[in-house]
Chain A
């Protein structure tokens, strides 16, 4: 019987600074044969032995050769320690875990991809998959909001996303520092929906960001005519195991780690103790 708690070494091959607090790490398993099979939206448990372990979204496209990517914001003990690592350093890993975005049901459909802050991370692999397999999907509208312009992540890829046929990228920030050149919108991300051109009746929506943001995005999408069952959100919770054992991420009858983190809107609405709940 294999031990699902056991970790494997993965080496950092590349680090890209996204913002002051956020970096994207390219990782490869040291064991040559081992590649990571995953669906965008799934997560890995990444740890530094002696410091701790935590769940992190896989942010690369499954089509990426040579490893996979994780985008991590410096916030607590573990992420601060990860922030100090360099290419060549080794982390320990187990995964992937959880549900991914329903990529297959998105084929042939128009897509809303709506993110707030570092919530773009679990969606970035999906966007890159769409760019590479452009013919498989309909029109795509990416709407992304962050607090400040310098907190936007994956900025180096925006040109490539925009250059792909029939993908639009709309940006907004809460506040623009004085003297900062900001050619895009200002305000909450739901404002961007008024620029939408796709037919809500034939669209799926994938949403990730702070819960309060997802609550209003999901409502706005419903008002526009997107069916509730076509809206998907990704939740964040504390996790120790990722395998429905430790109980940390439990939300009513659901485990965010195995029943999620990607849930349909009706599903998450029926669960207690989250801001998208019908009542909480």
Chain B
């Protein structure tokens, strides 16, 4: 656990947002259409520091839904030109689970090939994290230890107290912001209040993985052919919501657009989803994941086990977005549940395979 450089106290968020947005293009979760969404914020914005379960996590700021890789000009050969990027981004109010998700994305976009588009944004980004003093009912961060408390990897960390905010400084960049504000030091009582509030949030988190994270690999290996996969895949709409809303999902498409002149165009990158039928399709409509059950299994096991094997970090941080945004809600174990809910899927896996009924499909295999 990294120790904060300094712990301070701030009376209201406005002055902090003002200080941050002076240097950084600042995004934060704000109320929108009855939900919360990551938008550009200013000192007047009511940034929501609760457990927002926004439809999109902050990943779309680090890896835009669509971004230009380069423009090209065709002629005698071709020229390509990369877009410039010289912004500095601040993510204001990132929850601990989402910071952990960003750490997973960092590993995806590092490796043998370093993705310059992601890293230009990521390197510029000031992470103003916010501990969760309440945890949404869909969330199960405590099972992964990805929340409600963040221990490291922030520039600034906010914890809401009864009448003010605790502000912990985790980096030089964070310190530069805090220095300009002339804030009083936090007291021992403030730190104790933080600990008590986060303990209460942990205790109030009822949703839990039914097995230890380390046992998931073996569970999915043993139950790869469990009949529940069939009945689950049968009620999956294959819409991709679980992946688009997932803070660790990163898959994309690369496509070209060309102007009518056929001399100029742009090659761009756009989010894609392994849940969509065309995702693994090749020429002649051959498709390596034509069956819905294969796509359903791929997303589930990748999040819960394979991503850990690939990158050493969990691909599920327990944020609860797939739970909230999945449109299919079958009855399981006598309750209406979200189909995409990892906790429910793991509970499915634990059911004795011979007890599962209703997997006959007179209509044939669903693609």
Given that A50-B256, A50-B265, A245-B252 are known contacts, is A258 also in contact with B288, CB under 8 Å in the complex? Answer: no
B297 close to A (CB within 8 Å): yes
Point out the residues of chain A lying under 8 angstroms from B309, CB to CB.
253
In the complex, what distance in Å separates the CA atom of A274 from the CA atom of B256? 30
Given that A49-B74, A245-B115, A253-B309 are known contacts, is A240 also in contact with B280, CB under 8 Å in the complex? Answer: no
Given that A4-B113, A236-B282, A248-B279 are known contacts, is A49 also in contact with B256, CB under 8 Å in the complex? Answer: yes
A3 close to B (CB within 8 Å): yes
In the complex, what distance in Å separates the CA atom of A272 from the CA atom of B223? 13
- CB B192 to nearest CB in A, in angstroms, measures 44
Which of B76-84, B160-168, B181-189, B356-364 lies at the interface? B76-84
Point out the residues of chain B lying under 8 angstroms from A53, CB to CB.
254, 256, 267
Main secondary structure on B side of the interface with A: mixed
A92 close to B (CB within 8 Å): yes
A169 close to B (CB within 8 Å): no
Point out the residues of chain B lying under 8 angstroms from A247, CB to CB.
250-252, 272, 274
Q: How many A residues touch B, CB cutoff 8 Å?
A: 39
- CB B287 to nearest CB in A, in angstroms, measures 9
B283 close to A (CB within 8 Å): yes
B23 close to A (CB within 8 Å): no
- CB A18 to nearest CB in B, in angstroms, measures 17
The digit string for A1-15, where 1 denotes a CB below 8 A from any CB of B, is 111111101000000
Point out the residues of chain A lying under 8 angstroms from B254, CB to CB.
5, 53, 240-241, 246
In the complex, what distance in Å separates the CA atom of A220 from the CA atom of B251? 37
Given that A90-B77, A247-B252, A247-B274 are known contacts, is A237 also in contact with B108, CB under 8 Å in the complex? Answer: no
A7 to B251, Cβ gap below 8 A?
Answer: no
In the complex, what distance in Å separates the CA atom of A279 from the CA atom of B221? 11
Q: How many B residues touch A, CB cutoff 8 Å?
A: 50
A64 close to B (CB within 8 Å): no
B289 close to A (CB within 8 Å): yes
B69 close to A (CB within 8 Å): yes
The digit string for B275-303, where 1 denotes a CB below 8 A from any CB of A, is 00001111110001100001001100110
Point out the residues of chain A lying under 8 angstroms from B111, CB to CB.
243-244
A9 to B77, Cβ gap below 8 A?
Answer: yes
A273 to B80, Cβ gap below 8 A?
Answer: no
B109 close to A (CB within 8 Å): yes
A76 close to B (CB within 8 Å): yes
Point out the residues of chain A lying under 8 angstroms from B69, CB to CB.
5
A246 to B224, Cβ gap below 8 A?
Answer: no
A49 to B72, Cβ gap below 8 A?
Answer: yes
In the complex, what distance in Å separates the CA atom of A245 from the CA atom of B107? 10
Which of B117, B256, B280 contacts A248 (CB under 8 A)? Answer: B280
Given that A49-B74, A253-B310 are known contacts, is A244 also in contact with B251, CB under 8 Å in the complex? Answer: no
Point out the residues of chain B lying under 8 angstroms from A30, CB to CB.
77
In the complex, what distance in Å separates the CA atom of A9 from the CA atom of B256? 17
In the complex, what distance in Å separates the CA atom of A90 from the CA atom of B76? 8
| CB nearest neighbor in B for A79 | B283
| CB nearest neighbor in B for A275 | B288
B114 to A273, Cβ gap below 8 A?
Answer: no
The digit string for B245-277, where 1 denotes a CB below 8 A from any CB of A, is 000001111111110001001010000101000
The digit string for B39-72, where 1 denotes a CB below 8 A from any CB of A, is 0000000000000000000000000000001101
B87 close to A (CB within 8 Å): no
In the complex, what distance in Å separates the CA atom of A241 from the CA atom of B269? 10
A225 close to B (CB within 8 Å): no
Assuming A1-B116, A5-B70, what are 11 further A-B pairs, CB within 8 angstroms?
Answer: A4-B113, A4-B116, A5-B116, A9-B78, A49-B74, A49-B258, A50-B74, A52-B256, A92-B78, A240-B253, A272-B301
